[in-house]
Structure 1
Amino acid sequence: MIRNHKSLSEEEILLLLKGDLSDLGLDVSDVEEETENARHQDPTTVDIQFLQGMDLDMVEILDPQDNDEDDVPLVSRLLAEPKLALSHSAQKIQCDTHWDLRWRMNDIEEVDTSCNAVFSDPPGDELTPLQYFRTMCSDDIIQNLVEQSNLYCIQKTGASLDTNVREIEKYIGINILAGVVKMPSYRMYWAEATRFSPIADSMPRNRFDKLRNYLHVNDNTKMKQREGPDYDKLFKVRRFVDKIKQGFSVIEPEEYHSVDELIIPFKGHSSLKQYVKSKPHKWGIKVFARAGSSGIVYDFEIYRGKGTVHNDTGLGISGDIVIRLLEGLPKYKNFKVFTDNWFTSYNLISALKNYGILTVGTVRPKDFKAAI
């Protein structure tokens, strides 16, 4: 015999469907009896009042011709059944339930997170800082700087700069050291009151000025017109950037990687200069980079607006950048990649999973709702 239950308000029914209403004082035997009676009824004629006072996770409506034994909650069957004639209250429940989605505690499907990549043993002898630098900045880079700087000086003044490999190496070393021991003006390293011997003794100030004025990477006469399809904003430093990338690719990748953007501080005149309010250095050149958990940068891409990356993967510019920066990783090795909310999307994570790369990324609440 079915016991008469207390009539619930529309608000209580909504809370019941959302799982926020508990301790209704149900008698389990009554629920079983009502469930058994419901199975003998035509599911298309079930009235919404039958739901009052019952635990929906314990009730299901079965089609006699349906051999599927999966446990489908009643509320899911109600929302999916097109023939079910719902009352006005039930229609409101259906609408509210559709938009008011909530996370539920559930067992997470186990994912294989083992790393199948085979890493080499550490080098027997620890490299010196100079040897590490030589790995990134090869002799080809230095030689190109010597040739192009001499050529540019001839084009501008009619006379060669007469620089050589040894002098260019000193010039680069001075700039690196100046980044460690900082002064407001580079001329202060040679000034009498602020003289810094490691820099001042390695090269005269006037010679440093001249190298600074004529240092060049590429031949300006080969630059394409700005309106042309082959125009490259990075033409003047393209050969240097490509060589540096080649040096980075020699480093054996580790298991954990992160893709993010960074700013190279710069306040000079350049079409590449960006202003990013949230960054510590607000003015500069934006760079997308892939780095390991050790802090080593393995690959990077300088942002230059449209055409930053040429591979159209259908994942948007953020997804294209991630795919581009991960090109150097061997596929199907279960590397782990971390991204922030600007890069993260469901389609990107699915695409990387197909490559054998596992991804962890943050998302904004509004983006998650849009994805649903």
Structure 2
Amino acid sequence: MASRRQLNEEEILDALERDSDIEEDYENDAEDAVECVVEKIRPAKSKVIARNDTGVENATEVEEDIEDIEDFEELELPEISEEAIAGVAAEWLNSSDILRENAISLEETPVIQCTKKKEIKWKTRMACTFKSDKIQFTAPPADGNTTERTPYSFFVKYLDDEFFVKAVYYTNIYATQKGDLNFKPCTADEIRVLIAQHIMMSCFKLPRVRMYYDRRWNLTFFSNSMTSNRFYSLGKRLHLTDISARPSGCKDRLFKVRPIIEQVRQRLQELPLEENLCVDEQIIPFKGKFMAKQFIKGKPCPWGIKVYFLCGKSGMPYDFIIYQGSSTPLDDIVVKTDRDIYAAGTVRSNRFANPPLPDKNVMSKRGRGSAVQCIKENEKVIFIRWYDNKVVNLASNFVGIGTADKARRWDKDSQGYIEVFRPEVVRLYNESMGGVDLLHQMI
């Protein structure tokens, strides 16, 4: 093992001089490297494009060499005004109908403003129902239409003739872009038949598409309306947008089917709303290749496309959003928080800065039916913790424990039904929820 000794004053000075020489050599080498790079990138001739008053571009060649890299700073480039940029952007957006309809400005993108956890303060006091008198629900007028309603009459309300005209246009455009000379241009009636056949296939659910055209199954609806070759040809080329006109910064994974989604949403938003509404998720079973596909453990169909539905108590949908992760587009209607709406639902306590309430162990010792609550300092949100079979956390902006009642529950120990204390917010929640599940059952 080598021994260490302390350097004297002369050895330290010699070491410092050697370091200064190395640093000076390094700086000289760096300057030589820069000169070498400049010689490589210095052009022998440069071409300057100038635009005269008449709008004609003139190209003049500069014969002299650029002697120093600093000469580039002396070149004055013409300033581009914001009006010119806006004009070019407007001309680019107007080049396609789909861009003009679906282009979203960054300034118009809604921003969700949430209260920070550190700013949330709670206080414990009894909070009863404190509904506002200015919020009143007016029932929609009864539909006086006495005409006969058929399934097709409901269908055309969601997908009108204009939708099929655009589908024909973009389908033929796509076939032309692919250079498919053997494709016969389609018509609006053929697109209607194609969609109708897909609806019928969802009812019969045969394992192979070819089986719907097999004579042994005697499904004459498919063979009489369209041949199998034409069905495959249209299904392969069906398009609802011009894929070549997709914006460069578009992160929408449903860009190709966005027109039909917005068409159905627009019609649903025109329906008269019910008084009691609920928002819940629904899984559309799907195991194919799709970037927005989700896996939710514990669901009957864990793999699929997650959709958030706004439904009434009757199961009627009024709006929906297809979940795409962090890139899910949200409308102003969804993120607007200053509307007068009574809301209540189950929440996670860590999202509310852990309100000062007893934990699940303390609640379990108090027994089944115990409930506690606290209210935010601005008295706009109530947090309720109720113990049934396990701890349930709810938040509301209009009711807390309120006027409680008794709920009938099964008890494993006594093997019979018992009466359990139930807060008012739980009763209202149970009465209004379930619309999305009812919709799923009807579909």
TM-score by length of 2: 0.47
Q: Could you say which residue in structure 1 is the equivalent of 2:308?
A: 288
Asked if 1:204 is matched to 2:208, the reply is no
Write the distance in 2 (CA, Å) between the matches of 1:188 and 1:341. Answer: 48
Q: Could you say which residue in structure 1 is the equivalent of 2:285?
A: 265
SS of the equivalent of 1:236 reads coil
- Show the 5 A alignment for 1:104-119: 108-109=128-129, 111=131, 115-119=136-140
More strand by percentage: 2
Q: Could you say which residue in structure 2 is the equivalent of 1:231?
A: 251
How many angstroms does 1:287 deviate by?
A: 1.1
Letter in 1 for 2:140: F
Q: Which runs of 5+ in 2 are unaligned?
A: 1-123, 354-374, 396-443
Write the distance in 2 (CA, Å) between the matches of 1:344 and 1:247. Answer: 38
Write the distance in 2 (CA, Å) between the matches of 1:165 and 1:272. Answer: 30
Is contact 1:299-1:325 (8 Å) kept?
A: no
Write the distance in 1 (CA, Å) between the matches of 2:173 and 2:208. Answer: 28
Q: Could you say which residue in structure 1 is the equivalent of 2:153?
A: 131
Write the distance in 1 (CA, Å) between the matches of 2:230 and 2:312. Answer: 39
Write the distance in 2 (CA, Å) between the matches of 1:361 and 1:242. Answer: 39
Aligned length: 243
How many angstroms does 1:119 deviate by?
A: 0.8
Is contact 1:146-1:164 (8 Å) kept?
A: yes
Q: Which runs of 5+ in 1 are unaligned?
A: 1-102, 313-322, 355-359
Q: 1:124 to 1:195 in 2, by over 3 A?
A: same
Letter in 2 for 1:202: S
SS of the equivalent of 1:157 reads coil
Write the distance in 2 (CA, Å) between the matches of 1:248 and 1:236. Answer: 21
Q: Could you say which residue in structure 1 is the equivalent of 2:213?
A: 190
Q: Could you say which residue in structure 1 is the equivalent of 2:186?
A: 163
Write the distance in 1 (CA, Å) between the matches of 2:252 and 2:130. Answer: 47
Q: Could you say which residue in structure 2 is the equivalent of 1:365?
A: 391
1:153-203 CA-partner distances (Å, limit 9, x unpaired): 111234354111111111111111111222112221111222312223211
Write the distance in 2 (CA, Å) between the matches of 1:131 and 1:361. Answer: 48
Q: 1:129 to 1:311 in 2, by over 3 A?
A: closer
Asked if 1:216 is matched to 2:272, the reply is no
Higher relative contact order (CA 8 A, sep 6+): 2
1:314-352 CA-partner distances (Å, limit 9, x unpaired): xxxxxxxxx71889xx954x6x666454799879x99xx
SS of the equivalent of 2:225 reads coil
How many angstroms does 1:248 deviate by?
A: 1.2
How many angstroms does 1:279 deviate by?
A: 2.1
TM-score by length of 1: 0.55
Write the distance in 2 (CA, Å) between the matches of 1:342 and 1:177. Answer: 42
Q: 1:231 to 1:192 in 2, by over 3 A?
A: same
SS of the equivalent of 2:215 reads coil
Query: Equivalent pairs: percent with the same residue?
Result: 29
Letter in 1 for 2:282: L
Q: 1:186 to 1:124 in 2, by over 3 A?
A: same
Q: 1:236 to 1:137 in 2, by over 3 A?
A: same
Write the distance in 1 (CA, Å) between the matches of 2:210 and 2:345. Answer: 41
Q: 1:127 to 1:193 in 2, by over 3 A?
A: same
SS of the equivalent of 1:143 reads helix
Q: 1:295 to 1:366 in 2, by over 3 A?
A: closer
